[in-house]
Chains A and B, each alone.
Chain A
Amino acid sequence: MRALEPMPGVRVVGHADALDRLAFPGGVTVLRIAPDELIAVGMADGPTGYAILGEAETGFVGRWLDAGELAAVRRHVEWPLHDGLNQGLVAGVPARVWIGDDGRALLLVAGAYAHELEARL
């Protein structure tokens, strides 16, 4: 596994329906980590508006995975990975794996856990 890299973006908290209505520019990967919270990777400024709280987020690192790396990650996950957002333990470390319709896959982990995940993968 290649080294994890900074994955800056924006963290947004808001009413679920308000988040549903948000539009994001192309190239931004949106991870809906909870009904009322999302992380938009690759976005510089947060959306604003009523019932929306957006903050710059630099606390995550990760990397885009090729097929071999995704297969390697799968071996460290006790639950089945599916398309879309997966959240849980990867090699015992809290992490997220997003798999797009086009097969692209993003591994995302809080920077505070990066050393553990890199060592275990």
Chain B
Amino acid sequence: MSSGGSSERGTFLLDGEVHVYEPGDSVAMAVVRAGDHPGRGGTLCLAGDCGNCLGEVDGTAYVRTCLTPARPGLAVRRHPADGPPPWDPAARPVQPAPPGEVRRLETEVVVIGGGPAGRAAADEARAAGSAVALFDGAEGHEVVGIFPGPTVIVRIPGEQAMLHVRAARVIVATGAAELHPVCPGNRLAGLLTARAAAGLVSSGISLPDAVVVGPAIPGVEAQSLEGRLVRFEGEARVTAVVTADAGGRETRHACSTVILNLGRAPRDVLARMSDEAVTVIGSAAETFPLPPPPTAGVICPCAGTTVEDLEGAWARGFHEVELLKRATLCGTGTCQGGACLPHLRSFVAARTGAIPDPFTARPASRQITLGEAAADVHLDAFRRTALHDEHLAAGALMDRFGGWWRPWHYGDHLAEHRAVRERVSLGDVSTLGKFIAEGPDAVEFLQRLYPTDVSTIRPGRSRYALLLNERGHVIDDGMIVRESDDRFVLTFTTGGAGNAEMWMRDWLETWALDVRLMDRTMSLGAINVTGPRAPELLGRVGLAAPLRFLEHARVPIAGVPCHVMRLSFTGEASYELHHPVDRSVELWQALMGAGQELGIAPHGLQALFALRLEKGHVIIGMDTELDTTPRRLGMDWAVAVDKSDFLGRVALARTSSLPDHRRLVGLTMPGEAPVEGSPIWSEGDVIGHVTSSFTSPTLGRAVMLGWLKRSPFPGAVEIAGRPAAVTSTPFYDPEGTRARA
């Protein structure tokens, strides 16, 4: 029994009423001392093995009051009898606890349990030269879980801190717990285990009218009853216990306290959490006789599971302890089977003739707060481009895309749209995946990697390419930029760059080609200068000779060394300026300054998504699905089927002659664009959905991309209750003259 409470008499509040405690009392002891029950009934073990004394202590629910030292001013509330403790932040604001601190310890051996077996094991390990950490519940160390590693999590007493201990070996020496009774009336108050009774008596607490079911207990004066336990009787507190002899004849014994000395079971909750490098010793590893199979009453006090519930699940075919646990919730509560598991095993053994193994326990073995559970747990880290502060200064609304913070808009996405279409605009595309592939086998590598014929890309030129997997499904896209015979720059989508790198490195290793691959994604910034006046702006800052469409060159721009790539995602003349990331701000400011007379304005992702939609450009992952092929995108032109082998070629060749019932198509209708995700209807059936949607100010109508998943593909459909036309893309500048201008 743990106490360790105050050294002086004092008072605390229980459900708003003053309770007196004596020196050394736990909260539960003090309540029992007053003739009351700290919970809502059920057998008290006062050892932390069950959940019958749980309460809310100073605002924290599910606290074992038997392990909570009484101290002045403590506010304790019993949990409701009919359900979990209420949590209504509006009615009862909760002061958030400060985030828990995590401390770490590396050791060779962790011993859990400070009894004779645990201390002997610790001594033996130390004698063998091992570093040992011993955690003893009697000293206030609450081991709440064992995780793979193994890692042992310990609540540090008296502090808002958790200790995470990594060890090579864990020894569990947690001893044995006492059996709880399972019979009608076992939720009454006035029921104690033998050790609990002995502890109370030794603390000077009298147990009037007490009887013992089972062997007599040294030091505890109480009538010892013989026979089988049948039931408890009483309203809230026990007033009698009924036993039966071997012939089934029942005897009723009047009492106000029943002490249950029914036997023991391994205290193995921690041992049942992990089988990795965990050794169980002492009583925790002992095989104790199971109790008689339960026939009636609450078997799992935590979940409220009754024997009748078990019988119902058994009748439905759940014949293993793990299945019965899932079907009835028996053992899923606070004590993780500490009270119910022996009875559940006995229940199964009586029906199968074989004693089943115990079920798994889940951390935590002691209730912990969300703050303690979340201590030192971090949210995903989102990256910022070097231009983050520039975007904020320009009034950007930042949002998270593909692992980065990016500007969604700068206050007016339509104005940004017009800046691109009519003047010149900057976009921060630093988040694109950027790689160098260099080496004698670079062409061979890329020929195998991409479906396009890389050998026909001349140095100084670039090409848009899809990235396919072996099944011919599109997994990413980007640019192949050839710098020399054996050096290429490759770009990928923001969200796909990480996977693309893994994909390339895997295949490079598989093929054993002589190629160096370097990730430059976070080393280089990239700014997209786009719009009809982009060439004019770049001419002012250093690009003397305008590049032709899909050409690239290394040119200083405003004094910053840049790799300039002429391409287009917006549909206007566009130049991506890749540059050392530490020069991004300098370059951005120079471009913005030089572009003032040209009406320059930055554009965010919202405008960019609309601009590319007007051009019919897909966004991988937004417009595509996991099994999207180039054919389904209408992008067969991106696949050189007659070139030598490439990833996906076999699958594409095999399926090319088969009928296909899916197609990503352009859609248009007058008026406002329907929301993305809208179903596409045809002749009363849903035949697809919209993936991208925008009310184009340039075109004066709604433009969309969407999937048709039933052939023959109709020429007219219905979306959001309105007729829409299936049309070819691009919607804007279909000849591409503006992008190539």
Contact = CB atoms under 8 A, between A and B. Distances in A.
A54 to B, nearest CB: 9
A104 interface: no
Contact of B523 (A58, A94, A116, A117): A58
B379 A75 contact: no
Contact of B516 (A53, A74, A111): A53
Contacts of B436: 53, 55
Interface in B422-443: 436, 438-439
Nearest to B164: A78
A51 B404 CA distance: 33
A94 B522 contact: no
Contacts of A116: 381-382
Interface residues of A, number: 34
Nearest to B437: A53
Contacts of B583: 58
A75 B438 CA distance: 40
A112 B428 CA distance: 14
A80 interface: yes
A13 interface: yes
A92 B374 CA distance: 13
B143 to A, nearest CB: 19
B581 A58 contact: yes
B518 interface: yes
B516 A51 contact: yes
Contacts of A36: 516
Contacts of B379: 92
Contact of B580 (A56, A75, A113): A56
Contact of B582 (A11, A58, A94, A113): A58
Report the interface size class on chain B.
20 to 34
B520 A14 contact: no
Given A80-B106, A111-B581, A116-B381, A57 B516 contact: no
B40 interface: no
A13 B518 contact: yes
A8 B582 contact: yes
A116 B516 CA distance: 31
A91 B384 contact: no
B381 A92 contact: yes
A6 B382 contact: no
Interface in A1-15: 6, 8, 11, 13-14
Contact of A11 (B164, B377, B380, B518): B518
B382 A55 contact: no
Given A57-B523, A59-B522, A59-B581, A13 B517 contact: yes
Nearest to A94: B381
Nearest to A56: B580
A112 B383 contact: yes
Interface string A40-67: 0000000000011101111100000000
B386 A111 contact: yes
Given A13-B517, A55-B523, A58-B523, A78 B104 contact: yes
A78 B580 CA distance: 33
Contacts of A78: 104, 164, 376
B692 interface: no
B438 A53 contact: yes
Contacts of B523: 11, 55, 57-59
B103 interface: yes
B378 interface: yes
B159 to A, nearest CB: 15
A76 B580 contact: no
Given A58-B523, A58-B581, A76 B376 contact: yes
Nearest to B377: A92
A85 interface: no
A37 B582 contact: no
Interface string B670-682: 0000000000000
A115 interface: yes
Interface in A82-109: 89, 91-94
Interface in B409-467: 436, 438-439
B386 A13 contact: no
Contacts of B378: 89, 91-93, 120
A59 B582 CA distance: 7
A89 B381 CA distance: 10
Contacts of A58: 523, 580-583
Interface string B495-521: 000000000000000000010111010
A111 B522 contact: yes
A110 interface: yes
Given A11-B523, A14-B516, A112 B384 contact: yes
B385 interface: yes
Contacts of B404: 112
B429 to A, nearest CB: 14
A4 B522 CA distance: 16
Interface in B374-406: 376-386, 388, 404
Contacts of A111: 386, 522, 581-582
Contacts of B382: 116
Contact of B381 (A8, A14, A93): A93
10 contacts: A52-B516, A53-B438, A59-B581, A75-B103, A80-B106, A89-B378, A92-B379, A111-B386, A112-B384, A120-B378
Given A92-B378, A115-B388, 15 more contacts: A8-B582, A11-B523, A51-B514, A53-B438, A55-B518, A56-B580, A59-B524, A74-B104, A76-B376, A92-B377, A92-B381, A111-B581, A112-B383, A112-B404, A115-B384
